[in-house]
């Protein structure tokens, strides 16, 4: 009975996940994200949408295509959360409400930054292309010292590791940990998104693995 319930739950979750392959299910999420509100419930709903979108941006091509539907401006809506609000005027009558507005915007802004960082770490070409096609994307990203990542080149990645392999005496002082981690992440993304579709020689692809 336990196994049967597990299989039923798994099938049910898979059916729910497939719903997001349709733009119809994306539209309400973007609408909530576009709704500016200073109420706690409204703010929690917008944060919840960003959490859901983090899962969607790791979805299949059909989900990404639904997210990219031009009717919803999904990517631009997320990018607009990066904008810094203008400083409040001390002469405003309701400074407490203004302070609350700044606080909620700051929380949503940070969550949006985390989401974009996650999207860029995946290096999914479909996501990078969509963001690159938005005219204001570079300006909005610059608000938070972010930039659109370049596409991954397997030859460049392999050349990086080959340089280390050629060293006769490899010591810790010759390794840049941050650079190494970045290259390994890029290699992981190449294997995930490009391995099956790449025309690169099979032996080179296996060497990457």
| pLDDT band, residue 30 (cuts 50/70/90) | very high
Distances (CA, A) of 174 to 158, 164, 167, 178: 18, 9, 10, 12
| pLDDT band, residue 95 (cuts 50/70/90) | low
User: Bigger pLDDT: 43 or 208?
Assistant: 43
Considering the chain, what is the average pLDDT of its residues?
83
| pLDDT band, residue 1 (cuts 50/70/90) | very low
Q: Would the pLDDT of 185 be above 70?
A: yes
Q: Would the pLDDT of 4 be above 60?
A: no
Q: pLDDT tens digit string along 133-173?
A: 998 999 999 989 999 988 777 888 888 888 877 877 878 87
The rounded percent of the chain whose pLDDT value lies above 70 is: 91
| pLDDT band, residue 76 (cuts 50/70/90) | very high
The encoded tokens of residue 144 equal 């938070």
Q: Would the pLDDT of 90 be above 80?
A: no
Q: Would the pLDDT of 87 be above 80?
A: no
Distances (CA, A) of 78 to 43, 47, 97, 196: 14, 11, 24, 30
**pTM higher than 0.85:** no
Using CB atoms within 10 Å of the CB of residue 73, give its burial: 0 to 12 exposed, 13 to 18 middle, 19+ buried.
Answer: middle
């Amino acid at each position: 009975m336990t196994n049967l319930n597990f299989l039923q739950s798994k099938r049910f979750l898979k059916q729910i996940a497939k719903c997001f392959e349709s733009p119809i299910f994306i539209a309400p999420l973007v609408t909530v994200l576009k709704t500016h509100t200073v109420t706690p419930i409204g703010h929690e709903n917008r944060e919840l949408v960003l959490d859901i979108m983090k899962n969607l941006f790791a979805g299949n091509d059909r989900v990404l295509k639904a997210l990219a539907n031009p009717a919803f401006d999904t990517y631009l809506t997320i990018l607009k959360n990066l904008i810094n609000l203008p400083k409040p005027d001390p002469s405003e009558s309701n400074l407490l409400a203004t302070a609350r507005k700044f606080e909620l915007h700051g929380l949503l802004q940070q969550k949006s930054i985390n989401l974009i960082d996650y999207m860029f770490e995946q290096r999914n070409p479909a996501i990078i292309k969509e963001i690159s096609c938005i005219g204001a994307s570079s300006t909005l990203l610059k608000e938070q010292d972010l930039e659109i990542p370049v596409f991954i080149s397997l030859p460049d990645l392999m050349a990086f590791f080959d340089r280390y392999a050629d060293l006769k005496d490899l010591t810790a002082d010759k390794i840049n940990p941050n650079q190494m981690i970045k290259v390994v992440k890029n290699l992981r993304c190449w294997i995930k998104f490009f391995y099956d579709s790449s025309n690169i020689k099979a032996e080179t692809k296996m060497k990457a693995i």
